Amino acid sequence: GEMLRSLSTALSSLVSRASAPSAGAFSAVKQSSLVLSRCSSVFTRNLYDSDRLWIGVTGAPGQKKKRSRGKRRVTRPRIDLNRGQQLGVNTQGLVIPVLQGRLTDSKGLLKRPEPGQFDMEKYNERILEMRNKQGKKRGRLKQPPLLRGWSGGQMGGQRIEPPQPVLDYAFDGFESRIVEFRMVSHMTATFGRYPSFSVMVVTGNRRGLGGYAVSKSPNRQAALRKANSRAGQRLEFFDLRDGGRTLWHPGYAKHLATSVVALPKEPGYGLRCHRLIKEVCRVIGIEDLYAKVEGSVNYKAIMRAFFRILRQQESFQHLADRERLHVVEFVGDRPRVLASPSDGQVRGADSGSEDASDDVDSDGAERLRDLATYYMGGRLLQLKRRSPPAYLKGPGQTKRRRERAKFRNQLAAFRERCMLTDLRPEVAQPPPKYQPGMLGLRQSFYVGKEAESAAA
């Protein structure tokens, strides 16, 4: 209100002085007469407003552009001509103090700035620079290699800030990762196709604590913020082996059409699994793991199945107390006891126990239970065969195998002849031609003949 009153007072004073100009008020203005006039044209009658004028430069908007025929010209973005301009500064270098702040001096309403106070050239250059930047299309923001996602500029796999604090708890030491980022839409009766963003974020502190959440929002940043905050509110703790290095035992879980199998590994093995499972293991703190995904590769199904495997993990001591059996690890042929029942009572040790028959086969031998078979419900992991090297399929290797094919049975035949020679020396025959794997036999054979000739 005070600014508007000051502005109205200044304008009324300016009009009164324009009708009776004085040398004191316009001492800095060039010698010219001030004439009040009202400029009117077709552009001031709301016939050609700024939106219609910009259509002539940028082209027809969205749907009209698609319906137009013929060659479509290259459209240009709309430029905001007011951006960068300073209020109260004229293109001729005149400054109006009333538009730059409070009116404290009523003597000079229109004056030139003092030398060195306002650089008009830099001011105009800055305006042109900002307008040129608006005219250029925005490219993708290049991120450092360590902050990029799984592929190119996609959001999947990127690291984001930890969740926002909840009450007095701050998520210090947490790390959040985007594991899925999609654009989805649904049809409504009023708005038609309603687009939105679907984001899945996993967070953890690298010490066994982790959680994930899925969120949707029409705004990208809002979807990321909601998913990150919900993941921080759905944390779970997983007690894993060796301080969280790997799993206690093999695990299997299935969600809808997705099956996930996870196996614990020795130190230094690394993470050899699906990229989504890798991100989950990194935020939780798992270092060595092998996992295989079968069936559908839906990310939500993989996430739920893997978290179910983590919830099923139990220590060897808990397993021994629950089953009342020893948990033994075989290193070669030597057994090593990992855990035993806390109360010392082992099931099946006493022949008079009720459930002794559960651990003894029909022939009386003690039954051995494998942890993989026990936790996977009798399922076996079908490992993929290692494919041969690519160079074995080349033309040179193919030709060489074709040449060696006619000698493929000579080694077996030669061994049979050697056996017959030992039994019946009169049927001795010379050795076959050289082929790989027969060098030692040929040398021993010739050494024996030379020794016989030398003795003779």
Q: Where are the domains of the chain?
A: 154-237, 251-311, 316-375, 404-455
pLDDT category at 5 given cuts 50, 70, 90 is: low
pLDDT band at 244 (very low <50, low <70, confident <90, very high): very high
Element of type H or E holding 453: helix 439-455
Residue 194, pLDDT above cutoff 50? yes
Higher pLDDT: 87 or 222? It is 222
Mean pLDDT for the chain overall? 78
403: number of CA atoms within 13 Å, CB side?
Answer: 9
Q: Tell me the per-residue pLDDT of 101-118, one tens digit each, with 9 for 90 and over.
A: 544 444 445 555 565 566
* DSSP tag of 227: H
Fill in the amino acid letter for 124: N
Any idea which of 98-107, 212-221, 282-291, 344-353 has the lowest mean pLDDT? 98-107
State residue 69's pLDDT score: 58
Residues 393-436: tens digit of each pLDDT? 899 999 998 888 888 888 888 888 787 777 766 655 555 555 44
Q: What is the pLDDT of residue 26?
A: 43
Are 59 and 65 within 8 A, CB to CB? yes
pLDDT computed for residue 265 by the predictor: 94
CA separation for the pair 441, 431 (Å, rounded): 9
Whether 124 shows a pLDDT value over 90: the answer reads: no
Residue type (1 letter), 341: P
Neighbours of 250 (CB within 10 A): 20
Question: What value does the mean pLDDT take over residues 3-8?
Answer: 61
Residue 376 confidence (pLDDT): 87
Q: How far apart are CA 109 and CA 16, in angstroms?
A: 13
For residues 217 and 227, give the distance between their C-alpha atoms in angstroms, rounded to a whole number: 10
Confidence at residue 191, expressed as pLDDT on a 0 to 100 scale: 83
Q: What's the confidence (pLDDT) of residue 446?
A: 40
pLDDT-derived band at 256 (thresholds 50, 70, 90) equals very high
Q: Which residue has the higher pLDDT, 285 or 455?
A: 285
> How would DSSP label each residue in 390-405?
GGGGSHHHHHHHHHHG
> What's the fold here for domain 154-237?
Double Stranded RNA Binding Domain (3.30.160)
Mind listing the pLDDT tens digit for each residue in 128-159? 888 888 767 666 677 788 778 898 778 899 99
**pLDDT over 50 (residue 34):** yes
Which CATH architecture is the domain 251-311 placed in? 2-Layer Sandwich (3.30)
Say which amino acid occupies 39. Answer: C
pLDDT value, residue 43: 57
Q: What is the mean pLDDT of residues 65-79?
A: 64
Amino acid 67: pLDDT: 55
pLDDT of residue 16 exceeding 60: no
Q: What is the pLDDT of residue 443?
A: 40
Mean pLDDT across 264-288? 95
CB 261: neighbour CB atoms within 10 A? 23
pLDDT category at 302 given cuts 50, 70, 90 is very high
Least confident of 56-70, 213-227, 309-323: 56-70
Bigger pLDDT: 399 or 45?
399
* Residue of higher predicted confidence among 259 and 45: 259
Q: Worst-scoring range by mean pLDDT, 60-74, 243-257, 408-422, 434-448?
A: 434-448
The pLDDT of residue 17 is above 60 = no
Name, of 71-80, 246-255, 406-415, the range with top average pLDDT. 246-255
pLDDT at 30: 46
Q: If pLDDT is split at 50, 70 and 90, which confidence band does 441 have? A: very low
Give 314-365 pLDDT, tens digit per residue: 999 999 999 889 999 888 788 889 999 998 888 876 544 455 445 444 443 4
Count how many residues are written for the chain: 456
